[in-house]
Structure 1
């Protein structure tokens, strides 16, 4: 119901993926073999033709510098890793966008070689989570696409370099696992990519296999492994997912010539339905990209900031927890078109936790209008929770609640909240009660309880008497309320008095036996008050015997 700080940890899905490019596809005069592979005897001698030789064209990729250097101390080893595979003998290769995004440089290892080769990123796609890179080498073995039908029950193998069990700079072992295709039309809408449909299979993939190929029994590429479901312990679990051949081929040929469906970020969709907040969390930004030129910043956990893109071209993003809307805007508008953008930038402490301070910025991509601060919150006027919480009660001892110690202006005198109702136990707390009741710029809480009022009002009819529509905007609609002790209804009002960071929570509820009725009013003025509001909801109680 309330808006919590939408910060970290956010990356809850396992990333994995790549694909081949049309330059590595089989010539048209090749006929499908028994397993869907090609049988042309005149094919290039460098094309892999067996499962046993897939390793020769599969790459181990280390993304160093850039984002991987954040928080690294002098002399420490820090890098991200993933897999990829070669699609042409002159060194074109494919991996995931998330493997290479935000890196300062790549170290790519070819099978049988102890030293890495240099590689250049030719193009990336945020929405397809694909990247094409060019190795500084030639005469290389490469993988070709499977031809013919890809159907459920097809035997498939994952290939890659899972790095979840290695330490330091040790190069992980090449690994293959066997399984079969379960579906060729699984949904491809996720928090980190937007693909029409993907292949679902049960060949195990592990962290570090990002970018590795899914191949058939002849070593032909069926798809590009890119995701797995995650269990409660954070471990990958079946089913596993790969971007299919037909989805990948078209975009990979474009990526040889530059970015596609990209503004130059690595990011993940995020949604908190409880508090009604969503967006694209930016983890890194490519230098010289539209995002960089507009002033979007990458995630800096060491006392820096994190940017969340909440709107693109006036459209709210990630309300369903996926990149679908974000990518639809990019694909329809074109990633080089001017687009309005709205960003919320949250300040973090040295441990990567939000401090409560944040800015709202607006600007345009692909134009001269860089991001500018339009609103700024936190630091002053909000709730200081660093001093802990305090338990307070009204004068009769009937109402109890925990509030921040900074809400030191407390009134526990009886009150009548509506004409025709008798005075009843009431409790209010705020840094400044006058500010709480006279403005929309001061946080605080007020609670009223009455055994007599329940004879006249239900939670719905009581809440009807607290209509803030003349000054506020109702966020959504009236909702059912149940905190385990009391049940009733609640409303959240926003933008009261034009204060965009403000929210007002209005609750009317009764205990299960209906012996009394409670009205609770909570006002927040920014993210720094969210914890305080949640604590109020979790702790307020009324002793019905004292009413």
Structure 2
């Protein structure tokens, strides 16, 4: 038996093999995607740099460039007028509290780029740059001495777009490229990479004029691929032609493959007026990214949430992992495609069922967007249809009161993992059933000997075996323990089938066991993919015990 630091994600419930990419869409590898620079604020005053694998965008609306005649970016000889482009390109600093899978919650000042599209200060950037931020500060043309305030009008996590309104003034602004956007068109990428206030431009050509693309943070029908180098901090910056007219917005770059992506002009122009009017599109208010671990897509990680949005009202919080929407597993291919397909199918204002895993407390939550707010799922409550039975006995014997009191342990075969109170003792040896079958096992209790021989302490057992070699079926597991329960004077409170979308089986819930009147749950089920059988047994004396055990059972991992 060894203690292991592992993800608190219930792999048997949400980790699935990444599906083959859809033939009509490209699903690239973005392991070192460069687009958004975030500085973590430390009390010492120093800032550690965290590079996020996120994106950028285009703007829309056919508006002339420049507040005055002759102020547009076209230069003599058809080149780009550097100064004019710079004057309408902005740097955005979004300050707020975000939650990272690696670092947890932190206050961050994330910097991205954007551009102005109207004389009165309407501007475009990425959803991931601004959504969930507490404050927005904007600088024009690299001038950090003149800070402009801004507010988010509308956004879309699926298109990775956001429209913001700068404080009213007369601003130079971009026009849009007219006509087709062709392969081999000369282009320039403008913005503020690496969080530096110094404006930069890079040059390249369009290598693919219009392609569909699913990434960990967006799902787009129209994307431009080009080789004008972009780096962290370029998110939301403009991609322009040799006349300084907008053809797209940079939102991703991969140095390894020299691949740079911009949201196509047409994609943005379809929604820009809606966003500018204050209405979001294909959005629940999530700043999210598909989370992948060891090649498996686990769900959509919520970095932050827009206040007052559908996600906020549903109780979805930064640091949550969205695993299902409307019964569809999301993020399993490492992209936002399925999440966004649900929104495209039902609409963002529909009542949408949602399942969430919350690592902060190691529990699953279910509820609805635009409906019933999420509430914690209780393994015991699901099995009994109640608060768990009598749970008579001494108070406070569970030995844990918060997520910090738990640790993750694995069995000797490394097939099982579960969170248990750090103060509990653990047995991870292989279990041999009466039929001679071998089962991976984790048994945990404050006193393993007393747990095995009496009703005086709480405890739990989690066992699992491949379905092909399991010697006991779910029904046979229940039959196996029934004589012991009857001998201890237990009363069968509930016998029923069990199904939670991940396992299907049966359970017995016994109460009044032994001289302490303990509760005992025996549940056995087959995984929905048919790969393995699990057998879970729980012994509880108090409501605190039930809460501790419910946390543990909600975190277990079985992999075969």
**Under TM normalisation by the shorter chain, which class is it?**
0.5 to 0.7
Q: Which residue of 2 aligns with 1:156?
A: 187
Find out whether 1:373 has 2:376 as its counterpart: yes
Rounded Cα–Cα distance in structure 1 between residues aligned with 2:503 and 2:428: 24
Find out whether 1:248 has 2:279 as its counterpart: no
Rounded Cα–Cα distance in structure 2 between residues aligned with 1:413 and 1:174: 62
Q: 2:341 is paired with a residue of what secondary structure?
A: helix
Q: Which residue of 2 aligns with 1:289?
A: 309
Q: Which residue of 1 aligns with 2:207?
A: 182
8 Å Cα contact 2:9/2:555 also seen in 1: no
Q: CA deviation at 1:216?
A: 1.6
Find out whether 1:228 has 2:253 as its counterpart: yes
Q: 1:240 is paired with a residue of what secondary structure?
A: strand
8 Å Cα contact 2:400/2:406 also seen in 1: no
- Deviations 1:499-528, CA, capped at 9 Å, x for gaps: 99989899xxxxxxxxxxxx9999798885
8 Å Cα contact 1:383/1:529 also seen in 2: no
Q: 1:374 to 1:407 in 2, by over 3 A?
A: closer
Rounded Cα–Cα distance in structure 2 between residues aligned with 1:390 and 1:130: 43
Q: 1:293 to 1:180 in 2, by over 3 A?
A: same
- Tell me how large the CA RMSD over aligned residues is: 5.1
Q: 1:91 to 1:501 in 2, by over 3 A?
A: farther
Under a length normalisation based on structure 1, what TM-score does the superposition of the two structures give?
0.64
Q: 1:501 to 1:110 in 2, by over 3 A?
A: farther
Q: 1:344 to 1:134 in 2, by over 3 A?
A: same
Q: CA deviation at 1:45?
A: 3.6
Find out whether 1:22 has 2:61 as its counterpart: yes
The one of the two structures with greater contact order (alpha-carbon pairs below 8 A, sep at least 6) is 2
8 Å Cα contact 1:160/1:176 also seen in 2: yes
Q: Which residue of 2 aligns with 1:205?
A: 230
Rounded Cα–Cα distance in structure 2 between residues aligned with 1:391 and 1:344: 23
Find out whether 1:310 has 2:323 as its counterpart: yes
Q: CA deviation at 1:336?
A: 2.0
8 Å Cα contact 1:20/1:144 also seen in 2: no
- Deviations 1:95-134, CA, capped at 9 Å, x for gaps: 0111111112211111274311122222111110111112
Q: CA deviation at 1:468?
A: 4.2
Rounded Cα–Cα distance in structure 2 between residues aligned with 1:417 and 1:18: 62
8 Å Cα contact 1:337/1:366 also seen in 2: yes
Q: 1:238 to 1:261 in 2, by over 3 A?
A: same
Q: CA deviation at 1:63?
A: 1.0
Which sits farther off after the overlay, 407-416 or 328-337?
407-416
Rounded Cα–Cα distance in structure 2 between residues aligned with 1:465 and 1:177: 65
Q: Which residue of 2 aligns with 1:418?
A: 435
Q: CA deviation at 1:152?
A: 2.0
Rounded Cα–Cα distance in structure 2 between residues aligned with 1:128 and 1:59: 20
Rounded Cα–Cα distance in structure 2 between residues aligned with 1:433 and 1:146: 76
Q: 1:15 is paired with a residue of what secondary structure?
A: coil
Under a length normalisation based on structure 2, what TM-score does the superposition of the two structures give?
0.63
Rounded Cα–Cα distance in structure 2 between residues aligned with 1:434 and 1:520: 27
Q: 2:114 is paired with a residue of what secondary structure?
A: strand
Rounded Cα–Cα distance in structure 1 between residues aligned with 2:259 and 2:440: 54
Rounded Cα–Cα distance in structure 1 between residues aligned with 2:290 and 2:347: 20
Q: Which residue of 2 aligns with 1:497?
A: 507
8 Å Cα contact 1:6/1:272 also seen in 2: no
Q: Which residue of 2 aligns with 1:59?
A: 90
Q: 1:132 is paired with a residue of what secondary structure?
A: strand
In structure 2, the gaps of 5 or more residues are 1-5, 11-29, 34-52, 381-397, 479-496, 510-520, 538-548
| Correspondent of 1:131 among 151, 155, 162 | 162
Q: 1:177 to 1:362 in 2, by over 3 A?
A: same
Q: 1:442 to 1:239 in 2, by over 3 A?
A: farther
| Correspondent of 2:291 among 270, 285, 303 | 270
Rounded Cα–Cα distance in structure 1 between residues aligned with 2:367 and 2:523: 23
Q: CA deviation at 1:54?
A: 1.3
Q: CA deviation at 1:64?
A: 2.3
8 Å Cα contact 2:470/2:533 also seen in 1: no
8 Å Cα contact 1:46/1:89 also seen in 2: no
Q: CA deviation at 1:193?
A: 0.7
Q: Which residue of 2 aligns with 1:320?
A: 333
Rounded Cα–Cα distance in structure 1 between residues aligned with 2:190 and 2:374: 43
Q: Which residue of 2 aligns with 1:94?
A: 124
Rounded Cα–Cα distance in structure 2 between residues aligned with 1:209 and 1:363: 37
Rounded Cα–Cα distance in structure 2 between residues aligned with 1:427 and 1:89: 67
Rounded Cα–Cα distance in structure 2 between residues aligned with 1:332 and 1:152: 32
Rounded Cα–Cα distance in structure 2 between residues aligned with 1:155 and 1:176: 13
Q: Which residue of 1 aligns with 2:390?
A: none
Q: 1:189 to 1:435 in 2, by over 3 A?
A: farther
Q: 1:19 to 1:495 in 2, by over 3 A?
A: farther
| Correspondent of 2:366 among 362, 371, 375 | 362
Q: 1:179 to 1:379 in 2, by over 3 A?
A: farther
Q: 1:466 to 1:434 in 2, by over 3 A?
A: farther
* Aligned residues between the structures: 434
Q: 1:191 to 1:533 in 2, by over 3 A?
A: closer
Q: CA deviation at 1:49?
A: 2.1
Find out whether 1:173 has 2:198 as its counterpart: yes
8 Å Cα contact 2:9/2:357 also seen in 1: no
Q: 1:25 to 1:71 in 2, by over 3 A?
A: same
Rounded Cα–Cα distance in structure 1 between residues aligned with 2:299 and 2:343: 15
8 Å Cα contact 1:361/1:372 also seen in 2: yes
Q: 1:247 to 1:501 in 2, by over 3 A?
A: farther
In structure 1, the gaps of 5 or more residues are 27-42, 73-77, 167-171, 232-236, 300-305, 348-356, 394-400, 449-458, 477-491, 507-518, 539-547
Q: Which residue of 2 aligns with 1:215?
A: 240
Find out whether 1:195 has 2:220 as its counterpart: yes
